[in-house]
Amino acid sequence: MFDEPWTYERNAERGAVTVEAAIAVCSLAVVFGLVLAGVAAVVDQMRCTDAATQAARVLARGAGVPTAEDVVEASAPAGATLTVRRDGDAVVARVSVRPVGGLLPGVVVRAEARAELEPGMDEEVAGEVDGPP
């Protein structure tokens, strides 16, 4: 019975590799998920930047805020919001959204674009956009 003292130690570690492999696979899955969420957040940032630029251009040309909202809805990620303000002879459009459908808590992606008003558009845009004329 005591001829092989190493037999007990060998059997005590049985299954340790399985547990280590399971932990490693779970860790890799979590890291992969975080990488994908980060890439999705960067893509959402680029889409918000494009949407803010397009909205600012549309507003600077004299189109109304509803038209700018339609542009943002078409080019920004789902759930994006548009904030418009007047800054002297320019209009500033800000688009913000929670990336990855809100799966990243506390992360908000924002983009802001500024466009100079076209000549003669001061009066038309002043009534629709917040801020001093």
Q: How far is CA 90 from CA 30, 53, 56, 71, in A?
A: 45, 13, 9, 19
- pLDDT confidence tier of residue 87, bands split at 50, 70 and 90: confident
Q: What is the mean pLDDT of the chain?
A: 84
pLDDT at 44 exceeding the cut of 70: yes
pLDDT at 120 exceeding the cut of 80: no
Let me know: does 47 contact 73? Beta carbons within 8 Å: no
> Hey, is 41 helix, strand or coil?
helix
Q: What is the pTM of this model?
A: 0.74
